[in-house]
Structure 1
């Protein structure tokens, strides 16, 4: 859809848009119309119609609640308009999908909404009982022919590891088959491993490994021809991976939060002086270091930005 209009009671629509843009960046084609606490159906209808008249092209209206005033007004005015679709049951997950995948069907959006309603505690317990990494790799017991031929589609530094940008945007846009989280602390923490398994897309395999083991596995060809997404928590882990022989030609810096003494390089990246030194060492090894929050954002020369 060329336009998406979020409609809701109160501030929900605007709140979803704000949350969306935290994950995928600013979206000029996302619009909101709210039924104000002091408003009524007439106020809402006037504002929705005014908004729709200003838009060109196909439009998807996403309402907060089936049977609520915003949804009812949209149906009354646009039920028989050919290039307008209307769905109810707004969630952040379906809005993200509608934004990043403009070819997605209404049926697929509704299916995604159902899939994203999860009993997290039950899922965590199940994840903790998953079979070991060694058993997961049984299918690739003879992997020597793939040694040195790893198919790495992206290498990213993201302090939050697996979250919306990684799971919902980067991984899917790159047709990732396996996410490899390389971090010693995460690999040693059963709770964190279970949490990462819950956050990863169900269609993708996940390995949470100590940094050196991740390098060894990739070098040995353990994952065959799988499209690999390497995920690091910080630049120190990246350097450790490289020094262990891990094959990295480029690294994308996504999110590094503020710490005492850090300076801002981009809005989402705050770097300590010690980390600047690590980045310089990584770059000196011939690795191209860029910054890019989501695939649609322009690619920034991170080292140039860091040194400016």
Structure 2
């Protein structure tokens, strides 16, 4: 796995790494190196050398630094000598960049390849509201005129094998957020993210927030449960690799009983509300949840209980047992 050094003036590097791990989970082979007011250049260089020595693969190192030309950059630049073919430095450190770098390690073993990926993400993460304050984009070059009108694909058309591919189906109270948009998307590589919720489909603000939270290159949609049942049967989605999200196990059960062909559910989070038993840091259940999950299991659905890909799966049976014990008290 590519080793990552996050380096900055002051404690910025340590803070942004903590923020990143709140979103994508604990990370291995990543270290924060900080240049404090009382430190000299040799101090942060020593931190970097110790970090590199601790990595599983010190032949692949990515430095993410705050300022081009600052002391952290200069010390990284001194260390990179002799490793120009495999190491890389990227300045302008921000949170989207760091999250992208962590997620990219699931699909790339090259520090330099990850460096090229995170640049676009870092730039794309800089946004402004109201949008009228954003700098005007340059007009794109004129596209060639299409030879024929480009319209909707006619109903009944069979694309590919005519069956949508579910690369991940997840139960998560928050639906689309950082852990999903980065770590899971990098791991399962969907071309569509579909949040399936009657509540959110009729809430314009939440719907817009989810659609805007999609990572670069992936479209996000919000649809009601009945619509998802129709989409599952639509042969025009044969080339779709979907990451599908449910707010609750009840929504997942309704979709599956309606014909959505999901055989495995990732249980990410179920928020605690009054009357629910806390069974882990991320999951709380009430009696209805227990009954719903047991019905899903009886239908042959397998459960994969973990927040992020790097976590070890927990036992759904142990969770159900603990929930029953807690609710019986």
With the length of structure 2 as denominator, give the TM-score of the two structures: 0.79
Identify which range, 89-98 or 261-270, moves more after superposition. Answer: 261-270
3-state SS, counterpart of residue 140 of structure 1: coil
Structure 2: give runs of 5+ residues left out of the alignment: 133-149, 323-329
Distance 2:291 2:37 in 1: 53
Cα deviation code 1:262-288 (max 9, x no counterpart): 333333222233322221222222211
The CA distance in 2 between the partners of 1:213 and 1:181, in whole Å, is 11
Q: Are positions 1:36 and 2:27 aligned together?
A: no
Is residue 86 of structure 1 aligned with residue 89 of structure 2? yes
Out of 155, 162, 166, the position equivalent to 1:152 is 166
Query: Is the aligned partner of 1:96 residue 2:99?
Result: yes
Aligned pair count reads 294
More divergent stretch after superposition (224-233 vs 271-280): 271-280
Residues 161 and 181, structure 1, Cα contact 8 Å, conserved in 2: yes
CA distance in 2, matches of 1:204, 1:14: 30
1:73 is matched with: 75
Alpha-carbon separation, structure 2, partners of 1:214 and 1:178: 13
CA distance in 1, matches of 2:49, 2:194: 47
Q: 1:107-163: CA deviations, max 9, x gaps? A: 33222211222235439xxxxxxxxxxxxx963332364798332222111111111
* Structural RMSD (CA): 2.7
Task: Answer yes or no: is 1:59 the counterpart of 2:61.
Answer: yes
Q: TM-score, normalised on structure 1? A: 0.83
- 1:207 shift after superposition: 2.4
Q: Distance between the aligned counterparts of 2:205 and 2:100, measured in 1?
A: 28
The alpha carbon displacement at 1:216 in A equals 2.1
* d(CA) in 2 for partners of 1:24, 1:210: 28
Gaps in structure 1 of 5+ consecutive residues:
124-136
Runs ≥4 in structure 1, deviation > 6 angstroms? none
> Any idea what the Cα deviations from partners look like across 1:152-175, whole Å, max 9, x if unmatched?
222111111111222223234323
| Structure 2 CA distance for partners of 1:120 and 1:280, relative to 1, 3 Å | farther
Secondary structure at the residue paired with 1:295? Answer: coil
Contact 2:166 2:241 in 1 (8 A): yes
In 1, are the aligned partners of 2:171 and 2:249 still within 8 Å (CA)? yes
Change over 3 Å in CA distance of 1:248–1:48 after alignment to 2: closer
Q: Is 1:3 paired with 2:3?
A: yes
Which has the higher mean CA deviation after the structures are superposed, 40-49 or 155-164?
40-49
Q: Structure 1 residues 66 and 260 mapped into 2: Cα distance closer, same or farther (>3 Å)?
A: farther
Q: In structure 1, the residue corresponding to 2:31 is in which secondary structure?
A: strand
Report if aligned partners of 1:181, 1:232 keep a CA contact under 8 Å in 2.
yes
Using a 3 Å threshold, how does the CA distance of structure 1 residues 142 and 64 change in structure 2: closer, same or farther?
same
